Amino acid sequence: MRVSTKGRYAIRVLIDMAQYGESDFHPLHELAARQGLSEKYLEAILGTLVKNQVLEGARGKGGGYKLAKPAKELTIWDVLSVIETSMSPVECVDNDKNGCDRADICPTLPMWKDFAKIIHDYFSGITIQQLVKNAPDSKIPSCGEKKK
């Protein structure tokens, strides 16, 4: 299992949104500017998160993106499980696969299943709010705001 840049950026942006007002809509251009990402790339990531109810999106004046639930309830698993193609350590324990033809005699399958559970439990136990609390005191300045 390897977390892609899309997964890492998604987490960064959700932390940013929680820092700047978790119940507020954040315009795409401001999020992209604060995170140093292209709007087009970020829009694809955020679109996936909206489609999977991690974020809410609104068009027009005052629109943008906001967290679909409080940061204290939004886990890293919620994010990575919809952004990443797979969170399984090996293909044979991937939920989208049917396993393999040796599953009933495989001596390593229980180990891989246990490891997949550890990954799930670990990321399910970390919330966006916890990561906000771990963030350095100085947040990235929003557009037009000077860093302190």
Which tokens sit at 65? 């993106």
pLDDT value of residue 148:
44
This prediction's pTM: 0.85
Closest Cα to residue 65, out of 39, 103, 90? 39
Three-class DSSP category at 34: helix
pLDDT value of residue 107:
93
> For every one of its 148 residues, what pLDDT tens digit does the chain have, with 9 covering 90 and above?
789 999 999 999 999 999 999 889 999 999 999 999 999 999 999 999 999 999 999 998 888 999 999 999 999 999 999 999 989 898 888 865 666 788 889 899 999 999 999 999 999 999 999 999 987 765 555 444 544 4
Domain borders along the chain are: 5-85+127-134
pLDDT value of residue 112:
92
CATH of domain 5-85+127-134: 1.10.10.10
Nearest-angstrom CA–CA distance, 33 and 142: 8
